[in-house]
Structure 1
Amino acid sequence: MSRRILFGLAASVAMTCAQADTLSLKVLGQPAGSGLIQQQKEQPFFENFAKHSGLDATVQYLPVDVAGIPDTDALRVLQGGLFDIVSIRGSQASRDEPILLGFDLVGLNASFEEGKRHTDAFFDTVDQRLQSNFNTKLLGVWPAGPQVIFCKPEVTGLKDLAGLKIRVGDQSVANFVAGFGATGVPMPFGEVQQALARGVVECAITGPASANSGGWPEATTTVLPLALQLAINGYGINLKTWNSLSDEDKAKLQGAIDTLVADIWSYSEELYEDALRCNTGDAACQHGTLYKLKLQPVADADLAIVKEALTAKSLPVWAEQCNAVNPSCESDWNATVGAQLK
C-alpha cells in the first residue's frame, strides 16, 4: 500500500475521531412566541453552548412550536431520546407527571423568593422521579414569572370570574377558578390571542411578559395582577445522553445550566415589573410593546383567598392525583416543601 494511501487513511481516521469527540446535542426549547426569556436568554445560550459550557459541542436548537411538537409531550420526547435536552414547560408536562405541579401549586409561591426556596426543597425529589420513570435527569428549574389574569370584559376581582371561560395552564388553576363559577380551558399559548379575540375564552392566565409578546392586550381590556403561580419550567436531559458524558463534561454542562437558570430567575423578576408597565401604557416600559390595559387593584380579600387556596383546595386535590400514580408523593412534598411552610 502506498504512502499516499496510508496517509489518506490516517487522515480520515483522525477526522472521524475528532468528529466523534465533538458532543452533538439536539435541544427542544420554549415556544418562539412565549417571550423574552426564550428570545434573550434561552436561545442565545444554546446557540452559543460551546462558549458558555467550555465543552467541544454543537447544538441544534428548535423552539417547540417550530418543531411542531406539543409542549405537553416534553417528557415523552426526553424518554424516547428524540431530543437530548428539553426546556420543560412544567404545567403542560404535569399531565404526564403530576409531581411537577408540586413545585408551583396555586397559593404556594407568592413571591420569587418563596418560589426559589420551595423549588430548591423539592428539586431532588422530582429529579429522582423523572430519572426512574422518564429516563430524564432534571438539570434546573426557573420561573416564567407570576401568572396573572387578563380579561376581555372588565373585572374587578375574583368574584367577577363567575360564568367566564378562562384559559388555564394546568388542572390546579382550573380547579381554583372553578371555585368562582368559571370554566378552566386548557389551550396552547399560541392559540390564546385569537381565542380571546373571537370570544372562545373571555379571560386567560399567563405572565405579563408572555402576554405582551403574544399580543394578548390587543384582545383584552383589563389585567388583574393577582399572582396565582410562578409558572415553573425547567431543563431535562435524556439519561442516556447524560450517562455518556465523562464526569468532567457533566460538571461543565451542569455548571453552564446552573448559570443560565440563575440568570433567568433574575431576568424573570425584572421582566415582570417592566411588562406590567408596558401592558398598561407606562412610558417607563423598556422591553415590550406599549398597550393600554386597565390595571385593576388587587383586593386584600382576593390575596387572602389565593393564599388559603393552597391548603383548602390545590394541595389536597393535587395530592390525591399525584398519590394515585406515586404513593409517596404527598409525604415527600410534606417532608420537603411542607417543611418550609411551618
Structure 2
Amino acid sequence: MKLNFTLFGALALGLTTAHANAQDIPKTQLNVVGSIGILSMYKDMELPFWTDTIVANSGGAITANVKPFNELGFKGGELFSLVSNGTVQMAHQVLAYTSGSVPMNEATDLVGVVADVEAVHTAAKAFRATHADYLATNHNIKLLGYGTYQSQVVYCRDAFTTLSDLAGRKVRASGASQQVFLEYIGASPIGMAFGEVPTAMANGTIDCAITGALSGFLAKWHEPADYISAVPINHGVIAHIANMDWWNDVDAAAQAALENGLMALEEDMFALASTETADGLACNRGGACDYGTAADMTLVAATPADIALMADAATNAVLPAYKDRCGDDCTTVWNGTIGAAMDFEIK
C-alpha cells in the first residue's frame, strides 16, 4: 500500500537546481522521507534543500511532501525496503540501519577504517559507482548521493578512561561493524532506536551508547550520561535514494534537477559534518555552544592505546567479519575501491 500523503501533512515543498532550466521541468510532485527530525542533518540540510534551495532554482516546478522518519512512526531501517518496493518514492536512508540485511550498505563506514569525515567522503566517492550498480541491480533503488553525520562517539553514564574500559558494559550500537567492534573489546552491543536511548540509559537498560557528538547533545543524551569519549568510532553515512521504477517515469529534466541538486547537497552535508564533531564535544563539555545551553559532561580524551585498539579491531575483527557477511565477491570489490583508497586490505 502506498504511503498516504496525509502522513506528511499538507506541505507543498519544492526542489530542483540551477543546473536545469526551470522552464523545461514539468510540474512534478513526490514524497520524501527524511532522517531524524530533531537533528541538524534534517533541520539544517534536508528540509531547507526541499523547501528553499531547490524550489528557488526551479520556480516551483517540482514539489514534495517531506517528513522525517521518526515523525512518521518508523525506526529507520525499514525505509530501505519501502523505497525498494515503491511504497516510498525517495528517502534519506541512514545506511548503518540496514547493515545487517544489506552488508554492502556499510562498506564506506567500517569501524577503524575511516578516521574522520574527509576520509569517509573519500571512501564514498571511491565506492559510488559500484554501490549505485549494486542497488539498481539487486534492490530496484537509484542512488542519488551521500551525506554523513559527524563522528560517532561513546556516551556513558559511569566513568571510563579508555575504550577498553567498556568491557562488560551494555552499549547501544547502530550498524554491524559497531557491534563487532564492541564484542571484540568485551562489551555487549545492544540494538536500540535512537530516541529510546536516554530513558534506557537512565534506567540502566544500557550503560553507554554510540552516536554523533552533536546528535547526542541535541537529543539530550547528556542528561543520563556524564562521560563522553573524543575517539571517533565511525560516522553515520546517509544515502539519498529513490525507487527505480518511479525514477524511470520522472521527466528527464526533473531527473537532472534532482541529481544535480542532491550532489550539491552531498557536498554541503560533508562540509557541515566536518565542524559538528568539535561543536558537539564543546556543547557537551561546557564550551561555547551555538545549539543550546552547554552541558557539563566529562570529556574522555583519546589515548595512544585507544588509537591502537581501533586499528587492531579493524584488522582482526571488523574487516574479517565484514568479509563473512558480504562474501568473497564483495570483498574483492571493497579491496579494489575503498580498501585501495584507505590503504586497507581484507585478507
Residue 298 (structure 2) aligns with: 294
Deviation of 1:285 after TM superposition, in Å, equals 1.5
Scaled by the length of structure 2, the TM-score of the pair is: 0.88
Residue 123 (structure 1) aligns with: 128
Alpha-carbon distance in structure 2 between the residues aligned to 1:212 and 1:163? 25
Structure showing greater radius of gyration is 1
Deviations 1:48-78, CA, capped at 9 Å, x for gaps: 3432556611100011011112311121110
For structure 2, list consecutive stretches of 5 or more residues without a partner in the other structure: 1-24
Residue 231 (structure 1) aligns with: 236
Task: State whether residues 47 and 61 of structure 1, in contact with CA within 8 Å, keep that contact through their aligned partners in structure 2.
Answer: no
Residue 321 (structure 1) aligns with: 325
* Residue 310 of structure 1 pairs with residue 310 of structure 2: no
| Pairing partner for 2:67 from 62, 66, 91 | 62
Runs ≥4 residues deviating over 4 A: 52-55
Which residue identity does 1:63 align to in structure 2?
P
Alpha-carbon distance in structure 2 between the residues aligned to 1:253 and 1:51? 13
| Pairing partner for 1:221 from 223, 226, 235 | 226
Task: State whether residues 87 and 236 of structure 1, in contact with CA within 8 Å, keep that contact through their aligned partners in structure 2.
Answer: yes
Which residue identity does 2:240 align to in structure 1?
Y
Q: How does 1:30-45 map to 2 (within 5 A)?
A: 30-33=35-38, 35-45=39-49
Question: Tell me, what secondary structure is at the counterpart of 1:24?
Answer: strand
Task: State whether residues 117 and 273 of structure 2, in contact with CA within 8 Å, keep that contact through their aligned partners in structure 1.
Answer: no
Deviation of 1:288 after TM superposition, in Å, equals 3.6
Assess, with a 3 A threshold, how the Cα gap between structure 1 residues 50 and 240 changes in structure 2: closer, same or farther: farther
Residue 340 (structure 2) aligns with: 339
Residue 330 (structure 1) aligns with: 331
The 10-residue stretch of structure 1 (223-232 or 246-255) with the greater mean CA deviation from structure 2? 246-255
Assess, with a 3 A threshold, how the Cα gap between structure 1 residues 181 and 308 changes in structure 2: closer, same or farther: closer
For structure 1, list consecutive stretches of 5 or more residues without a partner in the other structure: 1-19
Task: State whether residues 97 and 175 of structure 2, in contact with CA within 8 Å, keep that contact through their aligned partners in structure 1.
Answer: yes
Deviation of 1:307 after TM superposition, in Å, equals 2.1
Scaled by the length of structure 1, the TM-score of the pair is: 0.89
Question: Tell me, what secondary structure is at the counterpart of 1:259?
Answer: helix
Deviations 1:173-225, CA, capped at 9 Å, x for gaps: 11111122210001110101111111110000001111011100000010011
| Pairing partner for 2:203 from 198, 221, 229 | 198
Alpha-carbon distance in structure 1 between the residues aligned to 2:292 and 2:197? 18
Deviation of 1:94 after TM superposition, in Å, equals 1.9
Residue 252 (structure 1) aligns with: 257
Residue 166 (structure 2) aligns with: 161
| Pairing partner for 2:289 from 275, 281, 285 | 285
Residue 116 (structure 2) aligns with: 111
Which residue identity does 1:236 align to in structure 2?
I
Q: Please, what is the CA RMSD of the aligned residues?
A: 1.6
Assess, with a 3 A threshold, how the Cα gap between structure 1 residues 55 and 93 changes in structure 2: closer, same or farther: farther
Question: Tell me, what secondary structure is at the counterpart of 1:32?
Answer: coil
Alpha-carbon distance in structure 1 between the residues aligned to 2:315 and 2:28? 46
